[in-house]
Amino acid sequence: MSTNKNSARAARKPQTRLGVDIGGTFTDVALEIGTTPYTAKTLTTHGAPERGVLTGMAEVVAKAGIKPQDVDIIIYGTTLATNMLIERRGAKTALVTTEGFRDSIEMRNENRFEQYDVNIDLPEPLVPRHLRFPIPERLTAQGRVLLPLREDAVEALIPQLEKEGIESIAVGFIHSYAHPIHEQQARDILARRLPKISITLSSDVSPEMREFERFSTACANAYVQPLMSRHLTALGHDLKAAGFDCPLFLMLSGGGITTLDTAIRFPVRLVESGPAGGAIFASHVAHQCGAKNVVSYDMGGTTAKICMIDAFQPQTSRTFEVARVYRFMKGSGLPLRIPVIEMVEIGAGGGSLAHIDSLGRIAVGPESAGSEPGPACYGRGGTKPAVTDADVILGKIDPNNFAGGRMTLDRDSAGKALIAEVGKPLGLELPHAALGVSEMVDENMANAARVHAIESGKDIEVRTLIAFGGAAPIHVSRLAEKLAIPRVIIPTGAGVGSAIGFLRAPVAYEVIRSHHQRLSKFNGRTATALIAEMRAEAKKVVEPGAAGAKLVEKRIAFMRYVGQGHEVAVNLPTDKFGADAAKALRKAFEKSYSELYDRTIPHLDVEVLTWALLL
């Protein structure tokens, strides 16, 4: 972009910002000129998602009475990476790993998410065994070289990789989080001989201990990288061809936005970009309304998402699962070690299909009608009843004013589908069949919210419920009643909440490093140097999109009592660790531990495993 164009845009007020969120059923577009909003909602075009994007963008620009070249910034969130992982439509990927660890991604961590199921199904690894190549090398957990990398063994892989038609390579060596030298050497050898193949290093995408999760994340990034790179690059060209000559940013799963180059390098960080935008939207609404502690409720066409927000900040996590074999059962998917906004997701959207289960009960989801063919009332060939069909019959949706009047719904088709699949099997008349479907989906959401609150150590009934998404506002009153929540907020623009949330998200990036230290032997100088190194890495990503804005830094240490298996996130008030650092860290840890478990363990040493810096 020329300097003259930049100067002209900087001088023009107010700024024009556009957000696009591709969902399972609808593509939402939100445009703001200063504080004046314009929105559009179009059906998602699954075969060519960019078609629905450009249609929605053209519509919202026309509504605002501006031209594409008047838009100053576009923020884009997509489910494309998630869908590739779920539907196994990614690139043909190889894993180069340490000799003896070829089967780590298949052995997993031996946790059984369904304890009593003797025929339990585990997700197939993204990389089959014959495409996992062991290489002699070894580092210690402290990063010291025990066995140098056999470079000739890496060279010997080249003919095999070419013969297999490999499109992308993940490199994951044991303990590379402590020292990435062997992964970098392997990358350099492979890149020299195979310059057109994408290469992902586990030490780049997830530099944390626990090799199964790290290797799984590296494989997922490699698996989606070639196709996401082509899609995002093509999208940039299509936008310019349509007249949108402005910066394009991508929404990250952790709640920030980043540049196109970073998104192409780490596409795995985009997997939960849409729901993350919704949580940012709810946080902004909470701040406007002075509701310090809330629960956000995002119900779209395919799923419902629930997120706890404390002091106007969404709850976050470093672990996420995708492509679950048992769709909404924790532990049954592929683990990704990436920064995410933590939320519970269930198959309870407007398109979730209703049926009678083997015990003769009404069940809803997790299968969804999506946008093709959609619920029966869409008139697009769907014959099975969905939640939207029940809402039409109950009068919760005006069939003549759906999606802002863009669609007219067929009430008769909705009734026929409900009677055939629910009414006749249970001997219910149409209104009762519709009520049964609506009540079941509301109870599913209420139960998920209760469990999520308990697991987070929080009381849900003292919170405010913020509802957004295409279906949430018409279900929120019953959900609040079930949860004994006294206050509900339905914000302006609720139907396209995630897209509006994109416009509220900051340019941000999170860097994570595993570096083990016990507080009894804490080395403050090493910790200070590590934080400085992480800050420098984050700045390289953030500063190109921050346009000279003031940078805000958040530091977190993941700590536990010695002997425990999992860590607690502890906010670090400083980036410099002096003589009394160990005492201050223990005090901060015990505060966080007590908030979660309502107790501490005296006289037991504490250790830091991982450090995170968000800029």
Stated pTM of the model: 0.86
Do 75 and 252 touch, CB atoms closer than 8 A?
Answer: no
Look at residue 13 in the predicted model and tell me its pLDDT: 60
Q: What are phi and psi of 64, to 5 degrees?
A: -80, -10
Do 311 and 293 touch, CB atoms closer than 8 A?
Answer: yes
Cα distance between residue 599 and residue 1, in whole Å? 56
Cα distance between residue 511 and residue 521, in whole Å? 25
Mean pLDDT score, 509-528: 92
Give the whole-number percent of the chain exceeding pLDDT 90: 59
Do 154 and 139 touch, CB atoms closer than 8 A?
Answer: no
When pLDDT is cut at 50, 70 and 90, the band that residue 576 belongs to is: confident
Helix (H/G/I), strand (E/B), else coil: 85: helix
Dihedral through CA 537, CA 342, CA 575, CA 213, nearest 10? -60
Mean model confidence pLDDT for the chain? 89
**Residue 482: how many CA atoms within 13 Å on its side-chain side?**
17
Q: What is the pLDDT of residues 102-152, one digit of tens each?
A: 999 999 887 777 778 777 778 899 999 999 999 999 999 989 999 999 999
Q: Retrieve residue 247's tokens.
A: 């910066």
Helix (H/G/I), strand (E/B), else coil: 213: helix
CB atoms within 10 A of CB 130: 9
Do 19 and 37 touch, CB atoms closer than 8 A?
Answer: no
Q: What are phi and psi of 172, to 5 degrees?
A: -135, 105
Q: What is the pLDDT of residues 352-369, one digit of tens each?
A: 899 998 889 999 877 888
Which among 364, 407, 612 has a CA at the least distance from the CA of 511? 612
Is the pLDDT at 423 greater than 90? The verdict is yes
* Tokens 């999506």 sit on residue: 370
Cα distance between residue 606 and residue 118, in whole Å? 38
Domains and CATH numbers, the chain: 3-85+230-270 (3.30.420.40), 91-219 (3.40.1360), 352-440 (no CATH), 510-614 (no CATH)
When pLDDT is cut at 50, 70 and 90, the band that residue 328 belongs to is: low
When pLDDT is cut at 50, 70 and 90, the band that residue 7 belongs to is: very low
Is the pLDDT at 483 greater than 70? The verdict is yes
Is the pLDDT at 545 greater than 50? The verdict is yes
Cα distance between residue 517 and residue 524, in whole Å? 10
127 vs 26, residue with greater confidence: 127
Do 175 and 143 touch, CB atoms closer than 8 A?
Answer: yes
CB atoms within 10 A of CB 594: 12
**Residue 536: how many CA atoms within 13 Å on its side-chain side?**
6
Question: Which contiguous run of DSSP H or E holds residue 51?
Answer: helix 49-64
Concatenate the DSSP letters of all residues of 391-407 into one string: HHHTTSS-TTSBTTTTB
Cα distance between residue 301 and residue 472, in whole Å? 10
The beta strand positions in 323-423, using DSSP E, are: 334-341, 344-346, 352-356, 362-368
Mean pLDDT score, 12-16: 73
Look at residue 136 in the predicted model and tell me its pLDDT: 97
Cα distance between residue 257 and residue 507, in whole Å? 5
Q: What is the pLDDT of residues 215-258, one digit of tens each?
A: 999 999 999 999 999 888 888 888 999 999 899 999 999 998 99
Strands 73-77 and 132-135: unpaired
